[in-house]
Structure 1
């Protein structure tokens, strides 16, 4: 099997996984203890069947009349009714506790995934992240909703049944215990064999998902360049690797259950031999022997369930470790790092900022230093590849710098981006990649502010110049858009994205070519929308058109990862430097909207 090409996201240790599980269990222990009590009663009631059959058998052997059946039948009836009630109560209590815990784990996983730095996600592959918040979360949920109750019920049934055997005669219990060493040895072998299989299998599944998502995302390019066969081979290789682990786990499980059958045969043979000896010597009657044999046969399913749930537990444990691994770089870790006291009014400070992609890649930013005062509008211009977008993502905190740092009022912006609540909304990055969510226009805007009223939505649409075309829709802001609804143009989607940010109302807005759009009329509309968005806010604008830089308070010109010029746009035009040459080239161009600033 080949080694993975991507640096997968971290996997939590056993200790870290237990800590995450304990945190998810907070407040649910009373319900779990109550469920355990109901399971104990339910397990004790399962002994009623063998006891009743043993009494009936003894009555037949003694040639007693039909009246001897009244007691056993009444016992079965009462036990059935009581067992139904206790089983129902245990199921309800377990469901309430388990569903709450699994829901909490899912929420933690999603929150941690959303807080991961972009560099971390890109290094590990999007597929690995998706497999954790979907497949792994589902594996934990299934095990928790099924295996937890099954394990507890089976374990309690085994203990109660062994106590019942001992109550009949201690030699019955001793005979039944003969199977335990075989079962323990089988379980130990299985755990030792399956644990690494499941852990590696979940990682292989993450690599398969990453390869599939990468292929689907790049499908048009792969077809255009005739690269589909090569990518298909990569997908096939990762799929074969994942299937190899699944086949290995299946083979181990088959051998596991085969060995358990041998242990059951050995234990039942011992029970029957002891029963024969005790009945022959007069130390036990036929009814007791029958009850003992039925007790032990009744252990087959609980023992198989108990040991079989280790299979689900093993898979769920591996999945839980991957989910908990997300939080190693998530909001909990960042909150605990105590970045320092907020210094209001300091604005954005960039100090000796350096960045590279990958541990051994070249520097794409080289010692950038900037001071952006509160309320100031900074425009970043430069040719393609100069480092503008990388600078924007680092200022917004969606990436962690390789060296140096970016702070907002003294707090590192990458830590702000990984927090939850209001502090995470202090600074927002808007790129040219805008997503239209299924739903109405108003739904798309209220993603940024659930409490936004209809007037709030209307005001945001008006501010970005979208009020007229939204009003012209069949149902106005309540019109369903996107897939399955009214199709919108690229400009309209961009305007909704900007209006969404207005409802979010951040202190700082970073626009990374967020209004890049061909066509002069559209360009002017989006430029006005961007101005409305940045009004009264600290703003960093990566300019797609130099007209966006003309209204800035300060312009910085980048080249080869460095700031080569900075100043007011009028001053830079008069200075005759790089910005002046860019401006002259742009103003003389036949189509200004296609010149990248």
Structure 2
């Protein structure tokens, strides 16, 4: 994967394993956004989740999205009002039938009423369908625009911010949260709008029959309002907590599965299983709290229904008894109130979906509101492909430094291997040089210009970062390659594949380079996936390449082939290679050995072996394990 084309990965820093334990919300400097911070265990980095918009900002964002489509919104609302009003004619017509029956009128007397009932049903069905169609069109249009803003901002987020949040947070927002909102737009919101209109117009119809019927019906309102407020106060924080817990669960699964090799190597299977189980159990507990909340909601709601219906029936009895209303009018009033059960229950039930969708919407707006990356007014231009690191220090959490006063220089075209034990700071140093993280102290210069002088755009064009977590996008192999160079010809694609010894297997695919790969397509092996990333590197053609254990996921045979492919891909570029295998380091122009966040040795393979220092010990241990077939 090349950093310029953002190959879709977001890796957790391997030199500091962030393990969030508990979530808490706080308001940042911008009152329109809230950021959520997950506290970590002692000595571990803090997971800073991506911002979540406040309720006021979320409403404002929806208004901004709807404003260009005001006419469509007004038309949809007007048609829905008309459809609901037509439907309210059914109860008076049925009440008229009761009056005719009470007066012992002949059956022919209700013929006209039956025809009118049929006409009301047809007109209401047609207008309701049209109104829902218009509202759905509005919802889908607004959702599509929100998705575009979200994706645009998500792709522009600094990689450092994504890594601090953890890829699980962004994954949940782009999957579960979007699904919740889409479902609400397509189902819950149109039905909620129709239910609210039905409630308002039905109460108005009760007042038209007799104002005392309206007063009787309103006796249920205090119970229903109290029930709704009781539910909302508990549901809003609960659903927000559920979203955070789900994101933490996703992140834990990504960390465990993505780092399965390391987990197994250090025999941490049981510990990671317990962490995953703990995350999952938190989600289960929150879900059960939601179920209990809904059950309590319904039990309180039924009390209001019984109070209101009893009041309307008693009122009708007294009005008919003293001659103030006919039996048909009382019947119509009772039918009106009974017809309120469905829209009221639907509206209050849909509040559940609406609140859940609102929580997801706030998370999307929080990301969509992120400002684009700052670009220097006049970005500097690197004079060459050199790298100069001076006095570099970095800590993911205050008081727990990962790098200490690192000085390093790479000459243009030089290939330098970075080696050291796990946790030595190799990945952190590589990502700082690539512009993923900003150092706590010190400077990084590319071609004599500091990273902040170059800006994100120039840095992406200058430096490519490839890790072991390469992503294969769904689509043809040709399209996947052209992500690195959209205008590349078929000949250029084949040349890039051939240079990394991938043309043979690529042309052997069922449809050759036109074969669909990625999700739902032809599955590529780990070695093939890495070769694809190297081919993209060649097509993107950056002057500086940084490879962070890019051959780690391949087996021994595949790794040897990939090491040759890496050598060809970085030929002519300044390359910093975090070496997973020392055989790869041995062929580098220079080797830099790190330990405890410091550079402790530097030199060629032969020079370092002769000094009998740390690298020599690593090489000897590596050779012994290779001889034993480990």
* Secondary structure, counterpart of 2:400 in structure 1: coil
Is the counterpart of residue 496 in structure 1 residue 535 in structure 2? Answer: no
Name the CA distance, whole Å, in 2 between partners of 1:365 and 1:430.
Answer: 24
Q: Which residue does 1:400 correspond to in 2?
A: 438
**Cα distance in 1 for residues equivalent to 2:226 and 2:489:** 65
Match of 1:210 in 2: 251
- Residue 470 (structure 2) pairs with residue 431 (structure 1): no
User: Residue 362 of structure 1 aligns to a residue in which SS?
Assistant: strand
Partner residue, 1:569: none
The one of 85, 105, 116 equivalent to 1:64 is: 105
Q: Residue 95 in 1 paired to residue 139 in 2?
A: no
Trace 1:565-576 onto structure 2 (pairs within 5 A): none
Alignment of 1:185-584 (within 5 A): 185-217=226-258, 227-326=268-367, 332-335=370-373, 337-345=374-382, 352-368=391-407, 376-385=412-421, 387-406=425-444, 412=452, 416=456, 427-436=463-472, 440-449=476-485, 452-471=488-507, 475-479=511-515, 492-506=528-542, 508-514=544-550, 526-527=563-564, 530-532=567-569, 535=572, 540-541=576-577, 545=584, 549-550=588-589, 561=597
Deviation sequence 1:405-438 (CA, Å, 0-9, x none): 546666639962xx7xx98555321234444556
Distance 1:137 1:505 in 2: 35
- TM-score of the two chains, using structure 1 as the length reference: 0.80
CA pair 259-294 structure 1, distance change in 2 beyond 3 A: same
Rounded to whole Å, the distance in 1 between the matches of 2:56 and 2:427 is 39
TM-score, scaled relative to structure 2: 0.77
Gaps of 5+ in 1: 567-571
Whole-Å separation in 2 of the counterparts to 1:223 and 1:558 = 23
Instruction: Name 1:39's counterpart in structure 2.
Output: 80
3-state SS in 2 of match to 1:238: helix
The Cα offsets for residues 317-365 of structure 1, whole Å up to 9 and x where unpaired, read as 223333444457xxx3343x45442123456675643222333322324
How many Å apart are 1:118 and its aligned residue?
A: 5.3
Q: Deviations over 1:276-305 (max 9, x none)?
A: 222222222222221111111111111112
Counterpart CA distance in 2 for 1:220 and 1:510 is 22
1:142 pairs, out of 172, 177, 183, with 183
Report the CA distance between 1:55 and its aligned residue. 1.5
Distance 1:287 1:483 in 2: 63
Change (3 A) 1:229 1:246: same
Structure with bigger RCO (C-alpha 8 Å, 6+ apart): 2
Between 489-498 and 387-396, the greater mean CA deviation after superposition: 489-498
Which segment is superposed worse, 146-155 or 225-234?
225-234
Figure out how many residues of one structure are paired with residues of the other and give that number.
572
3-state secondary structure, aligned to 1:298 = helix
Deviation at 1:53, TM superposition (A): 0.5
Q: Which whole-Å deviations, capped at 9, do the CAs of 1:192-216 have from their partners, x for residues lacking one?
A: 2222222222222333333444444
Q: Distance in 1 between matches of 2:92 and 2:555?
A: 84
Any conservation in 2 of the 1:407–1:413 contact (CA below 8 Å)? Answer: no
Shift in Å, 1:237: 3.0
